[in-house]
Amino acid sequence: MAVTAPVGVLALQGNVPEHLDALRACGAEARPVRRPAELAEVAGLVLPGGESTTLSKLLEAVELLEPLRERLRAGMPAFGSCAGMILLAREAIDGRPDQHQLGALDITVRRNAFGRQVQSFETDLAVTGVVGGPVRAVFIRAPWVESTGRGVEVLARVPGSVPGPASGKVVAVRQGPVMATAFHPEQTGDARLHDLFLRRVREYAAAG
């Protein structure tokens, strides 16, 4: 079933085209969002992978920060990947002290938790709510979730087969209409997580 209202991808910087493609592959009308007026027109928003410090700075500079907080408070569905997860979190560790947090997810994330680029990796990952087998999860200088508040559902953890401190860490969550992954579902051509997000958008639209 197609989503009738358009959904947006925050397009200030980062992996925007891949998210637009994935949403369109699911039958949604997807648009880039760079201005407050564009944000007002979408029924849900994807916050893409990118550099969270840059995105945080640009959100403020283009006066999107408060309108976005307002929409999220009002229950707009959102889906963040990697940098998007960091922005949606209530708190980020190892970030810059002046980095803005949208606080739409009651989680604490650790930035670049897995290490630098040479430690970036991909692996198969089972995700709650995604049917048809595991997703291929690409982690790029990725964060992980250190702690979750009440009301946050854990959707995926790093497999126990991964050695070291990363083992078992939470890497996908949902809280009401907002979900986030530490990895990049937009990188693999597998749109099942985008489909899950669009289901939230439809529920939200139906609830009026």
Q: Which of 131, 132, 161, 208 binds other proteins (CB under 8 A)?
A: 161
Nearer to other proteins by Cβ, of 75 and 115: the residue is: 115
Distance between CA atoms of 126 and 124, rounded to whole angstroms?
Answer: 7
Which range in 21-29, 48-56, 101-109, 194-202 contacts other proteins by CB under 8 A?
48-56
Distance between CA atoms of 139 and 40, rounded to whole angstroms?
Answer: 31
Query: For this structure, is 184 an active site residue?
Result: yes
Site for other proteins in 10-29 (CB under 8 A): 11-18
170-175 and 153-157 strand pairing: antiparallel
Site for other proteins in 133-152 (CB under 8 A): 134, 136, 138-141
Q: For the CB of residue 14, give the shortest distance to other proteins in the complex, in Å.
A: 6
127 close to 90: Cβ distance less than 8 angstroms:
no
Helix or strand run (H / E) with residue 73: helix 65-73
Q: For the CB of residue 46, give the shortest distance to other proteins in the complex, in Å.
A: 14
Q: Which of 7, 47, 82, 88 binds other proteins (CB under 8 A)?
A: 82
Active site residues: 82, 184, 186
